[in-house]
Structure 1
Amino acid sequence: MNTLAFERTAPRALVHRRAIGEVLLTDDWLRLGPHRFKVGAQWPRGHGFYGPIGDRWHNPLLAAESIRQASSLVSHVFYDLPRDHPTLMTELSIALDSHALRLDDWPVNVELTISCSDVTVRGNRLAGMTMHVGLARGTVSLGHGRMTLSCMRNSIYRRLRGAYAEVPASLPDQPAPLPPHEVGRAVEADVVLGRPLDGTGATDPREGVWPLRVNWAHPTLFDHPTDHVPGMLLLEAARQAAQCLAGPGVVLPATMVNRFHRYVEFDAPCLVRARLSDSPRGADAYEVLVAVEQNGVVAYECALTVHCAPASPGGPR
């Protein structure tokens, strides 16, 4: 039977999480074919960080984080990748149905149907693949996603990263945060965009430039120590930039195409540049293009399609 039970969370080590509350996947997984799998996830009605958008929709970044966790689980369980082998995302994309993201009175059990292509093995170890993921809640399609990753031995990773393979002792001073309501957040600790620095702010209201903020104390984005800025922090920076430009009402991402060109390091400032498309992509839908630059080089890019709606009486969540 190709059914999932959704009774318990997956082991933390399989999804590279330390806190049980940060594990979205369940301990249900099935092999459907040589490179096809089904994995369960449960999205809570209120997550500590990936909380509801406008009190109406599940946060689309729950889909992105579910796919990220699934990439780890599939690599370890079905391809026998050792748990100490680092993986690198080069692309993570989602396209979701906003109607299917609507909140109801219960947590949502999500089935991820995964097909892997371009599977590369060096020696007897997985070296990389692309995962094509369909997401569904019951018989209703939530949408789909795609993730491309590469894997390497820990010794090779440390040699390639050099001094950057070590977690630094401290962070440089961080910029002051934007007001939380401007980025669709309720608390300052969740804001990853800083107030524009002198000489870097955009003059066109369709554009924005902000310094990236890093907070090692954040329980979700830094669930465990890491030697570089996590990819999910960059996705959140893109979402917050879209909220700034397409707000002040509720801004719900429908699609995100994220490309990671290089590691974002902790020791140098980053600028988040965003531009709102001149023409809408349909009724109340707009495209936002985001790039994160470090040392004058683009390290990450995201193209978002977002839907805009009036703010709910309770304000952003």
Structure 2
Amino acid sequence: MSVDLSSPSVLTACPPPLATERLRPLSFDRTAPRDLVHRRAIGEVLLTDWIRHGPHRFKVGAQWPRGHGFYGPVGHRWHDPLLAAESIRQTSSLVAHAFYELPCDHPTLMTELDFSLSPHALRLDDRPVNVELTIDCTDVTLRGDLLAGMTMNVGLAWGAVRLGHGRMTLNCLRRSVYRRLRGAYAEVPVRLPEQPAPLPPHEVGRAVEADVVLGRPPAGADTTDPYEGAWPLRVNWAHPTLFDHPTDHVPGMLLMEAARQAAQRLAGPGAILAPAMTNRFHRYVEFDAPCLVRARLAMTGVGTYEVRVTAEQNGAVAYECDLVAHRAPSTSRTRR
């Protein structure tokens, strides 16, 4: 599971829209308030605007920059697909707070996040991408008058260009219930255990060690099969994107990045694009115990792959991912 624990002090809920509100275009002139998307840094906010179109139907604007400090261009050719994942994740917070009036001190639990995007539509342009997300919420459940859970079905478009679609399932808890559920783990730990040495950045499609989330395999853990591998997960609390604010467990976006880096490591030199991912978050990944990321790659065509990734901790599978990867027609080995 992946839980967002950030707690803004003030939230102004959006009133129902006027009849003309549904007719206006989305604006991309400024970012959404950081509180609504659970970010501390303005530079990490992707969302710009939001409109209600029905009881459970909404439109949200997002802008993807041509260069992001972490989710930068892939192979100097494509926008990073994880911008879509982060846009969907931020949208779940905005929709829950602005439209369903969920108090901000209620933790939200991400249990599923999927997306499938068109590689052609992700091609870089000479300007940022103004993305329109169309949200249809299903399986909306309330506990009393408070949101308890929902599934968001998301369509993504850039003007007349269809980028793809996504899906996310969200559960919501009162903070008191979350604290009872988590027990001692409800507190952010004082320090991290010693972290494993990172893999070389170029092997996982990164330019600097600080962005590497996979460690070198422990002695005796290497496999002779070039299509599978296992690496310890690395956590870096100083990372400005993955740890924009403190959290009591490993964030879901870090696990998704680990899956992509594992796929890149198995695919070998040359940047890969992962335009489709299905992600299941079964358990919390804690900071106080080693987590092993396992991956197996299968070639499905020339320069195309399917990769199965799991993250295991304390003898149980905490996270599963299936992703599709395409090799970028670029000689660059890093994403920057």
TM-score with structure 1 setting the length: 0.97
Aligned counterpart, 1:16 = 38
1:14-51 CA-to-partner distances (Å, cap 9, x unmatched) read 0000000000001x111111100000000000000000
Structure 2 CA distance for aligned equivalents of residues 52 and 191 of structure 1: 16
**Aligned position for 1:300:** 319
* Structure 2 match to 1:165: 186
How far 1:310 sits from its partner (Å)? 3.9
C-alpha separation between the residues in 1 aligned to 2:257 and 2:112? Answer: 15
1:208 to 229, 240, 262: 229
Which SS does the other structure have where 2:122 is aligned? coil
Q: Residues 75 and 332 of structure 2 are in contact (CA less than 8 Å); yes or no, is this contact kept in structure 1?
A: no
- In structure 2, the CA distance between the partners of 1:238 and 1:315, relative to structure 1 (3 Å rule), is closer
Question: How many equivalent pairs are there?
Answer: 314
Checking the alignment, whether the CA contact within 8 Å between 2:271 and 2:333 is kept in structure 1 is: no
Identical aligned pairs, as a percentage?
77
Change (3 A) 1:125 1:48: same
Q: Residues 97-108 of structure 1: matches in 2 within 5 Å? A: 97-108=118-129
The structure 2 residue matched to 1:252, chosen from 240, 255, 273, is 273
Residue 6 of structure 1, CA deviation? 0.5
User: Per-residue deviation at 1:247?
Assistant: 2.5
Quick check: 1:128–1:148 contact (8 Å CA) kept in 2? yes
The 5-angstrom pairing of residues 39-50 of structure 1 reads: 39-50=60-71
In the alignment, structure 1 residue 178 sits paired with structure 2 residue 199: yes
Q: Contact 1:45/1:51 (CA < 8 Å) preserved in 2?
A: yes
C-alpha deviation, 1:314, in angstroms: 7.5
What do the CA deviations read for 1:159-203 (whole angstroms, capped 9, x no partner)? 100000000000000000000000000011000000011122222
Offset, 1:106 = 0.5
Residue 286 of structure 1 corresponds to 305
Q: Runs of 5+ in structure 2 lacking a partner?
A: 1-22
Say if 2:113 and 2:279, in contact at 8 Å, map to a contact too.
yes
Offset of 1:313 from its aligned partner? 4.6
Q: Distance in 1 between matches of 2:302 and 2:216?
A: 31
Q: Residue 99 of structure 1: CA displacement?
A: 0.4
> Counterpart in 2 of 1:64?
85
Query: What is the TM-score normalised by the length of structure 2?
Result: 0.92
Q: Tell me the C-alpha RMSD between the 2 structures.
A: 1.0
Residue type at the aligned position of 1:159: R
Cα separation, 2, equivalents of 1:150 and 1:315: 36
Partner secondary structure for residue 305 of structure 2: strand
